[in-house]
Structure 1
Amino acid sequence: MESKVSEGGLNVTLTIRLLMHGKKGETVKKMREESGARINISEGNCPERIVTITGPTDAIFKAFAMIAYKFEEDITNSMSNSTATSKPPVTLRLVVPASQCGSLIGKGGSKIKEIRESTGAQVQVAGDMLPNSTERAVTISGTPDAIIQCVKQICVVMLESPPKGATIPYRPKPASTPVIFAGGQAYTIQGQYAIPHPDLTKLHQLAMQQTPFTPLGQTTPAFPGLDASPPASTHELTIPNDLIGCIIGRQGTKINEIRQMSGAQIKIASATEGSSERQITITGTPANISLAQYLINASSPDPDPLGRNTFPA
């Protein structure tokens, strides 16, 4: 893609990810046309969207200038209906691979301090990674001009210090997608609606049935919990170390939820020195194991961490 050399002689294709709320389809279309950058917005009914801006650095700066001024315009419009007297700053949230955040902060915070002082923008790098990812949020706030200067400096740092290792991108999830089991059906909550979930329903029904088949020669239905229940079996999986945190969850909440929902026993082996994978042992009926595998798959940022889709979408 041909383009003029931008300030500082940068003319490299770069991708910047940004977190935004809501849909701004028309605005994005206009920004694409006027900036020359490729701008994509993540799909899904999430309150947060990831906006990916790709192109030569000058096209990226142009797109950011348009975003910053659009945000300021929105703030001005919202203030005309409010009693507030002081105008809040424009705030943008970038999503940056954690492996690049060290260079952005600099030794003893020297780089981030220099960026704050030279641009007049406030810059904060989140201490924790965004859920199920190896990316962190970098919040920039200030006047549109300060934000544009700040983004330019961040781009320079990102170009000088490329990400190390594989990056697991942050994918916003719906605000909450609890699963409800009612009347033998599984539903996921989306907005104000309960949406039937056939895969989970099928698995849940299997897992909850203590007597999925009648043993040969037995004419009367077996009572739940008697010998008719299928024998427990064991299944082993290997999961990459960088995904294990998403499956365990904060203080083990996720794995406990999977144990409870699937009815399976799940053991995660300790990390072995020099190994990039962890062993997970699932014990239960075939249906318990299937449901546990399905839920492990669903809780991972990788759409198929087990290398096999239990249920194709």
Structure 2
Amino acid sequence: MESTESSYVSSPEEVAMKRTPPPPTDPAEKPTYIRFLVSNALAGAVIGKGGSTITDFQSQSGAKIQLSRSHEFFPGTTDRIIMISGTIDETLKAMELILDKLLSEIHAEGDYEAGTRTKVRLIVPNSSCGSIIGKGGAIIKSFIEESQAGIKISPLDHNYYGLNDRLVTLSGNLDEQLRAIDLILSKLMEDTHYKQTMSVPFSYAGVFFSAFHGMPYGHVPPVAQMAPSAVSYGPTVAGRKFQNNKEDQSNSVTIGVADEHIGLVVGRGGRNIIEISQISGARIKVSDRGDFMSGTTDRKVTISGSQRSIRAAESMIMQKVAYASERLMD
């Protein structure tokens, strides 16, 4: 008895299609990202009035551009973080737009002359730096030669527990920097560790400075009682009432600063610490002379406010202390 079911024979073309794997995805179309630093003073130029500039740059490039908030700095600096994400072409286009805008701002302020080599600091995970250094530094040397930009990779800063990023500084003119960024980003896209770090662009909440007696961010010790004559500095920005905000008054961290460094932290007439207080929104108290952290000769510095403002203030104080330490070593 013959079967009534009809049989179907594939054509040679269909057989070939089944056997041939799909073409590989073009690397240029894969999503990537890049992070770099911008000074707090120049961040406004990237944002524009009402966000107009950053919106325009996103529209022109097709990339997504994120900027850390005014009190969120890279550890040890007072610089904010810009993250650009998209395809490699979109990312490079956005990078070009932003760097060109920053150059025009510097030029307008009279701090830039034609032909001047400027610097851009990229943030790269420590685990991915090996891929752009290469065996015996072969890859980074080839990048320097091909781009004509200076490329320096900072060591991992062990002063900040929990910090797993390094800074890659590119020096040169805009074209040289962009060529170097293209080479570096293309190489980073081959690294699996780099792709895994894309989800958390700005989080340094677990990072704290090892030289201080302060606790890691998030730990809230009781407020230290300061001497009646202790110097107190609070934000005086018009229109901002920090005392009435429960969040700003709910946290307090006391850290120790070496007595020989406290003068540079405070500044002449309190100028430095007043500025730190105004930028961060935190209230800062410095203990009187002779009032030290228990068992040390470190002065007490109590920072109160929201956790964000405490982080910002502590980061700026760290920078002052680091600078003071460098001066003593010279």
Q: What is the TM-score normalised by the length of structure 1?
A: 0.52
SS state of the match for residue 73, structure 1? helix
Match of 1:62 in 2: 93
Structure 2 residue runs without a partner (length 5+)? 1-25, 73-77, 215-222, 255-292, 301-306, 312-330
RMSD: 4.5
Q: Please say if 1:88 is aligned against 2:120.
A: no
SS state of the match for residue 189, structure 2? helix
Match of 1:198 in 2: 249
In the TM superposition, residue 92 of structure 1 has moved relative to its aligned partner by: 1.2
Query: How far, CA to CA, are the matches of 1:190 and 1:40 in structure 2?
Result: 27
Contact persistence 1:135–1:170 (CA under 8 A): no
Query: How far, CA to CA, are the matches of 2:177 and 2:194 in structure 1?
Result: 26
Match of 1:217 in 2: none
Match of 2:129 in 1: 101
Which of the pair has the greater relative contact order for Cα pairs under 8 Å at 6+ separation?
2
Query: How far, CA to CA, are the matches of 2:81 and 2:182 in structure 1?
Result: 20
Query: How far, CA to CA, are the matches of 2:56 and 2:227 in structure 1?
Result: 46
Contact persistence 1:134–1:169 (CA under 8 A): no
In the TM superposition, residue 192 of structure 1 has moved relative to its aligned partner by: 7.3
CA distance change for structure 1 residues 9 and 102 in 2, over 3 Å: closer, same or farther? closer
Match of 1:124 in 2: 152
Aligned-partner residue type, residue 63 of structure 2: A
CA distance change for structure 1 residues 191 and 105 in 2, over 3 Å: closer, same or farther? farther
Show CA shifts across 1:219-275 (max 9, x none). xxxxxxxxxxxxxxxxxxxxxxxxxxxxxxxxxxx9x99xx98xxxxxxxxxxxxxx
Query: How far, CA to CA, are the matches of 2:195 and 2:54 in structure 1?
Result: 31
In the TM superposition, residue 191 of structure 1 has moved relative to its aligned partner by: 8.2
Query: Which one of the candidate residues 53, 71, 80 is aligned to 1:49?
Result: 80
Task: Tell me the percent identity.
Answer: 25
In the TM superposition, residue 9 of structure 1 has moved relative to its aligned partner by: 5.3
Match of 1:140 in 2: 170
Aligned-partner residue type, residue 78 of structure 1: E
Query: Which one of the candidate residues 16, 38, 60 is aligned to 1:20?
Result: 38
CA distance change for structure 1 residues 169 and 58 in 2, over 3 Å: closer, same or farther? closer
Show CA shifts across 1:72-131 (max 9, x none). 32333233xx6x867432321111100001111111111111111100111111112484
After superposition, residues 134-283 of structure 1 pair within 5 angstroms as: 134-163=164-193, 171=203, 181=226, 195-196=242-243, 197-200=248-251
Query: How far, CA to CA, are the matches of 2:236 and 2:188 in structure 1?
Result: 37
Contact persistence 2:116–2:173 (CA under 8 A): no
In the TM superposition, residue 153 of structure 1 has moved relative to its aligned partner by: 0.6
Aligned-partner residue type, residue 185 of structure 2: C
SS state of the match for residue 39, structure 1? strand
SS state of the match for residue 45, structure 1? coil
Contact persistence 1:68–1:147 (CA under 8 A): no
SS state of the match for residue 123, structure 2? strand
In the TM superposition, residue 28 of structure 1 has moved relative to its aligned partner by: 2.0
Query: How far, CA to CA, are the matches of 1:85 and 1:138 in structure 2?
Result: 24
Q: How many residues align?
A: 202
In the TM superposition, residue 170 of structure 1 has moved relative to its aligned partner by: 5.8
In the TM superposition, residue 10 of structure 1 has moved relative to its aligned partner by: 1.7
Query: How far, CA to CA, are the matches of 1:166 and 1:54 in structure 2?
Result: 14
In the TM superposition, residue 68 of structure 1 has moved relative to its aligned partner by: 2.4
Contact persistence 2:31–2:88 (CA under 8 A): yes
SS state of the match for residue 36, structure 2? strand
Query: How far, CA to CA, are the matches of 2:65 and 2:195 in structure 1?
Result: 25
Structure 1 residue runs without a partner (length 5+)? 1-7, 205-253, 262-294, 300-313
Contact persistence 1:133–1:169 (CA under 8 A): no
